[in-house]
Amino acid sequence: MAPPPPLIYVFYIAATPAKVWDGFVSQESNRIIFGGAEFQADLKPGGRLAWVGPGPDGQPVAYVRGKVLRCEPPKLFQYTFAMGQNDQPSRATIELVPETEATKVTVTHDEWAEDDPTYAACADGWPRILSRLKTLLETGKTFKPH
């Protein structure tokens, strides 16, 4: 069995690359986009990152964790990605390219293990996350995850 194909999403956000970058890495926007989860990151190659929120018992749990591979503000953010108890990391790459009145955002999530149980959740989650970020940056508010 072959690994799943890369997940690739392209969005255009009516904001500067710097504002979009901040949307991806700031504590405030992450709290809004991820329903209260805290983004904890050391934004340098080799630095750790995690989205941490309350678990079913109220104790903090890392929903997603990884390691920064590349961090080139406001153009490129690449990191390993492991969701929940999954110990098979994949790779997420966020590329920001300025357009005339917007920023082109390309997210490529690849390097999946053959049996990665989080692939379907990511295929569903990325469009939701990117839509919430786009709405937040363009209007100052967003909608509930689902």
Domains of the chain: 7-36+70-139 (3.30.530.20)
Interval 124-145 mean pLDDT: 92
CA angle 93/100/109 to nearest 5° reads 10
Q: Give the pLDDT confidence of 44-94 residue by residue, as tens digits.
A: 999 999 999 988 898 899 999 999 999 999 999 999 999 988 888 999 999
CB atoms under 10 Å from CB of 64, counted, come to: 21
pTM of the model: 0.94
Q: Quick check: 9 pLDDT over 90? A: yes
CA angle 94/99/104 to nearest 5° reads 25
Helix (H) or strand (E) holding 62: strand 60-72
Handedness of CA 53, 59, 63, 69 (dihedral sign): positive
Q: Please report the pLDDT score of residue 84 as a whole number.
A: 86
Q: What percent of the chain has pLDDT over 70?
A: 99
